[in-house]
Amino acid sequence: MASETTEVRLDVWLWAARLFKTRSLAKQAIVGGKIAVNDQAAKPARTLHAGDLVQVVRGWERMTVEVIGLNVIRGPATQAVLMYRELAESQRARELEREQRRLTAAGIQLPASHLDKHARKLRREIKRGTA
């Protein structure tokens, strides 16, 4: 990594490691309490060092990663993956959650296509109790 440093802002690192698409999304997640560093709440300007543990919550996904590399430049995905290592127990927990969601959704019958305007109108009437 060309611009390797010894410390990096948390929001910049999350963006450079491609855990979030934009730096502002990373900042929103941090401010919203979705990111913790070493089991402590974090602020966007918190400095990260190699060896820190970062807990990330993105939608359904919860993951704990160890910071291996620090970089302020967002590079290709192959380079970004080298900046962190997901812990084994975090990986197992994510796989288990994914499997449980898949099994839960197995019994849901999705419609073959989107509802047309007449079906939507009927559904609204049924919800209101006017049908």
* Domains of the chain by residue range: 1-92
Of 1-15, 46-60, 70-84, least confident by mean pLDDT is: 1-15
What pTM was computed for the model? Answer: 0.76
The C-alpha atoms of residue 5 and residue 29 are separated, in whole angstroms, by 24
Which band of pLDDT confidence, cut at 50, 70 and 90, is reported for residue 58? very high
Q: Which of 16, 21, 5, 17 is nearest to 81 (CA)?
A: 17
Mean pLDDT of 67-89: 94
What pLDDT score does 104 carry?
80
Which has more confidence, 127 or 10? 10
What pLDDT score does 128 carry?
87
Q: Which of 8, 64, 1, 60 is nearest to 35 (CA)?
A: 64
Asked if CATH classification 3.10.290.10 holds for the domain at 1-92, the reply, yes or no, is yes
